[in-house]
Copies of this chain bind each other. A is one copy, B any other.
Amino acid sequence: MGNNLLKGKRGIIFGALDEKSIAWAVAERCHEEGAQIILTNAPVALRFGKIHELASKLNTEVIPADATKIEDLENLITESMEKLGGKIDFILHSIGMSLNVRKNREYTDLKHDWMLKTFDISAVSFHKVMQVAYKMDAINDWGSIVALTYMAAQRTFPEYNEMAESKALLESFARSFGYHFGTRNNVRVNTISQSPTKTTAGSGVKGFGTFFDFADKMSPLGNADTASCADYCVTLFSDLTRMVTMQNLFHDGGFSNMGINSAAMLGEIT
């Protein structure tokens, strides 16, 4: 049971695929804190995932939307406001997919039309969501928009490939749109830079296990898991963080500010 932190608030959650998804956990926690939620994902993801299970658990609906398509987003927001009974208070963007990674292209041998498609899906979709919501004036004043990102936007994790650039782009959209949405509506926009997380998507990346363990040992608190990320999202959607905007917030057990940790090095020897 929660603390009523989001009582009366209406939110849209992008990207819940299955119970390992961060978006799944966020939706559950927001519901627990008193929010009404609309779930959405791309039509193709809806087929493979279990999002309808989640919807029935949260007593809500799934509105399919391809986040790269303006008309889908317009429909999503219109329908969400109808079903939730008013303007939206918060949005979670948890979308990412790399065509070049899927096809095992090396970073020094990428197909650039795929790269642009990756950017469109993983980052430009965030601008599209915000632009549609902004133009429709669909977000309540003092609302909160969050996207999930990764530290590859700042430092090089070679296996992360073109997703590094996608996340750099995503974080820049948060800052830029944060200015516009803040100035007009006091709506804040932030990104959460999350530890590597054992989601269905993440776990598929080459060398993910080694990487997960390295980060876990390097971080004084260990890697942040899905449940703690959901809790953190709740704080960012609540009114308690109403003056935090245009920030990239590390939720990573301290990884981002560690230079060296003998635990990580010893870990490798054993």
- Cβ contact within 8 Å between A195 and B164: no
- Cβ contact within 8 Å between A182 and B240: no
* Per-residue contact bits, chain A 104-140, to B (CB 8 Å; 1 contact, 0 not): 0001111010011001100010011001001100000
Q: In chain B, what residue has the closest Cβ to A231?
A: B240
Q: List the B side residues contacting A180 at CB < 8 Å.
A: 107-108, 158
Q: List the B side residues contacting A78 at CB < 8 Å.
A: none
- Cβ contact within 8 Å between A232 and B228: no
Q: At the interface, yes or no: A14 with Cβ under 8 Å from chain B?
A: no
Q: List the B side residues contacting A210 at CB < 8 Å.
A: 265
Q: At the interface, yes or no: A205 with Cβ under 8 Å from chain B?
A: no
- Cβ contact within 8 Å between B261 and A250: no
- Cβ contact within 8 Å between A175 and B240: no
Stretch at the interface among A38-46, A79-87, A88-96, A147-155: A147-155
Contact of A169 among B109, B169, B225 (CB under 8 A): B169
Most-contacted residue by chain B among A181, A235, A254, A261 (CB, 10 A): A254
A223-242 interface (Cβ within 8 A of B): 224-225, 228-229, 231-232, 234-235, 238-242
Closest 8 CB pairs of A and B: A182-B220, A224-B243, A155-B259, A168-B172, A268-B268, A3-B3, A231-B240, A157-B259
Q: Which residues of A does B touch, CB under 8 Å?
A: 3-5, 70, 107-110, 112, 115-116, 119-120, 124, 127-128, 131, 134-135, 151-158, 164-165, 168-169, 171-173, 175-183, 186, 188, 195, 207, 210-211, 214-215, 220-221, 224-225, 228-229, 231-232, 234-235, 238-247, 249-254, 256-263, 265, 268-269
Q: Known pairs A116-B120, A215-B260, A247-B249. 11 more at Cβ < 8 A?
A: A108-B134, A112-B124, A115-B127, A154-B259, A155-B258, A158-B180, A182-B220, A211-B260, A214-B260, A231-B241, A232-B243
A-B contact pairs, 13 of them (CB 8 A): A3-B3, A107-B180, A112-B128, A116-B120, A156-B257, A164-B176, A165-B169, A179-B220, A220-B246, A221-B242, A231-B241, A243-B252, A247-B256
